[in-house]
Structure 1
Amino acid sequence: MSDESASADWIDRTGICSVTFRRLAPPALVDVTAAAGLRCIEWGSDIHAPADDPRALDEVRRYTLDAGLTVSSYGSYWRAGERSSSPSIEELVSGAVRLGAPRLRVWAGSVGSAECPTPQRNRIVADLRRAAEVGADSGIRIGLEFHRLTLTDTVESTLRLLDEVGHDNLATYWQPRVDEPAGDAIEGLRRLVDRVCAVHVFSWWPFAERLPLTDRADLWRGVTALLRASTRPMDLLLEFVPDDDPAVLSREAETLQSWLSP
């Protein structure tokens, strides 16, 4: 495969998480995504695509496809190990099917790996194994949010968790951890990359201050180079742009796509 063809395959997987613009109605969000030259959307279950609203799911899917975009995934806030987590994993998988999403994003509990008692960790593992099975029955891949205050707060805990669940239908997202230096983040991704199904792309520094991608070019140039050298094309989804401003999306998309070109 030529460098140009490989680059096009990666660019075809660039998109946005709908939570980036929670205040936009789905048609407007689709319009700004398409205008920015992005190719796919991860629709969130909290605002734009509730699992218990079939009409909303149908409309969001139609808006997306009519614009020539694809639904990359269904972003949920279901947390393994929490009995009160609603909607259920079955409802969310059904919602993903209706939405036309090949993947459902879930969370590995709500406590950090260093603080999580063994019985609670075991419940999370069991719930994730069941989620992977439910998803597999419907052809929906399950991806873990890679996030602090969960069992995916470190590379080590994430790898351990995936091994404990032991199901081929479970993988993990990746994103830079808060306040993590670029070199450490890239090395963590290198260790995890074989288990990663998608990447959330944003530039925060320090902590949660939202910056243009170019302000952390050392991080994202290194990430995109590592991904292109190590794995097949996967979804690279922009999230949390500066000031939550739709007007900067085209700039951020152009920056990301430039790092995927030869």
Structure 2
Amino acid sequence: MLRPGLCSVTARHLPTDGVLEAAAKAGLACIEWGADVHAPPAADLPDLAAATAAAGLAVASYGTYWRATPDDDGLALIGAARALGCTRLRIWAGTTGSAEASPAERAEVVRRVQGLADEAAGHGLELAFEHHDLTLADTVESTLDLLAEVDRPNVGTYWQPRVGEPAEVALAGLARLLPHVRAVHAFSWWPRHERLRLETRADLWPPALEMLAATGRATDVLLEFLPEDDLSLLPSEAGRLREWIAQAT
């Protein structure tokens, strides 16, 4: 039920065929195509979908950078996700952290997400928040509140360990978010923004994967960052992730 994959932003410097080759050689099953470099809405996305399938990979999701701002209704992203053949769009909950956002800012983000979610539902698509600093989904509490305020069955969240969180704190947060988690971004930053190998946080990832597997839901676990952006590490990092998934399931 846990599907190992790759975020294309992990290899921003490669063309799409290079990303596909790297993911396939690493034994991964799917790719989240990022809208910033590899899959902008104006790109030939049906061809990219076909190339992904030809490489033996699935399109896990569309990694958008939509932030519910007044200048972007997000509708072009729905067409792009459909062209890619995926069912999930990753979105960002505004441009301000939950502690700094005013009630009016929060209400506006909620309203815009609801609008996009309603449009997406008509196409069989779901939205999921990036669980990230400087957004309204920056803490577990704020993410849960935001999901309740949006109140749409096709809106969930991603999960990733917050910067600087000890394993026990991160796992407690995952447990609270678990009913809403649609996918996971997997990486090991510790203690702050230092990019380390996955196994450096062996106290975090195996129990997190066990928790995800216990839900019985299909969940994508997507490798996102590598130390020094060194793509030669991808096969071993993917191997470690697959090993932990096998143990968890």
Give a deviation string over 1:73-108, Cα, whole Å, max 9, x none: 00010101x2134xx411001000001111111100
Match of 2:191 in 1: 206
Supply the distance in 1 between the matched residues of 2:70 and 2:218 (Cα, whole angstroms): 35
Q: What one-letter code is carried by the residue in structure 2 that aligns with 1:67? A: A
Identity of aligned residues (%): 48
Confirm whether residue 33 of structure 1 aligns to residue 23 of structure 2: yes
Q: What TM-score do you get using the length of structure 2 for normalisation? A: 0.97
For 1:62, which of 30, 50, 69 is the aligned residue?
50
Aligned partner of 1:83 in structure 2 is 70
Structure 2 distance, partners of 1:230, 1:191, is 13
| Alignment partner, residue 173 of structure 2 | 188
Task: Map 1:35-184; keep pairs closer than 5 Å.
Answer: 35-53=25-43, 55=44, 57-80=45-68, 82-85=69-72, 88-184=73-169
Q: Which runs of 5+ in 2 are unaligned?
A: none
CA distance in 1, matches of 2:33, 2:137: 22
Unaligned runs of 5+ in 1: 1-8
RMSD over equivalenced CA pairs, Å: 1.0
Query: In 2, Cα distance between the equivalents of 1:59 and 1:240?
Result: 26
**Structure 1 residue 68 displacement after superposition:** 0.9
Equivalent in the alignment of 2:243: 258
The structural deviation recorded for 1:231 is: 4.0
What letter corresponds to residue 51 of structure 2 in structure 1? Y
Partner of 2:169, secondary structure, is: helix
Give, in angstroms, the shift of residue 261 of structure 1.
1.6
Secondary structure, counterpart of 1:260 in structure 2: helix
Matches of 2:193 and 2:95, distance apart in 1: 19
Supply the AA of the counterpart residue of 1:27. Answer: D
Structure 1 residues 146 and 49: CA distance shift in structure 2, 3 A = same
For residues 63 and 183 of structure 1, what CA distance do their matches in structure 2 show? 40
| Deviation string, structure 1 residues 160-180 (Cα, Å, up to 9, x no partner) | 100101110100000000111
* Alpha-carbon offset, residue 233 of structure 1: 2.6
User: In structure 1, how many angstroms separate the alpha carbons of the residues matched to 2:39 and 2:55?
Assistant: 17
Aligned 8 A contact 1:129 1:167 in 2: yes
The answer to whether the Cα contact below 8 Å between 1:193 and 1:231 also exists between their aligned partners in 2 is no
State TM-score, norm by structure 1: 0.92
Cα distance in 1 between the residues matched to 2:84 and 2:214: 32
Stretch moving more, 179-188 or 240-249: 240-249
The 2-side partners of 1:239 and 1:214 are apart by 15
Contact 1:182–1:218 (Cα < 8 Å) also in 2: yes
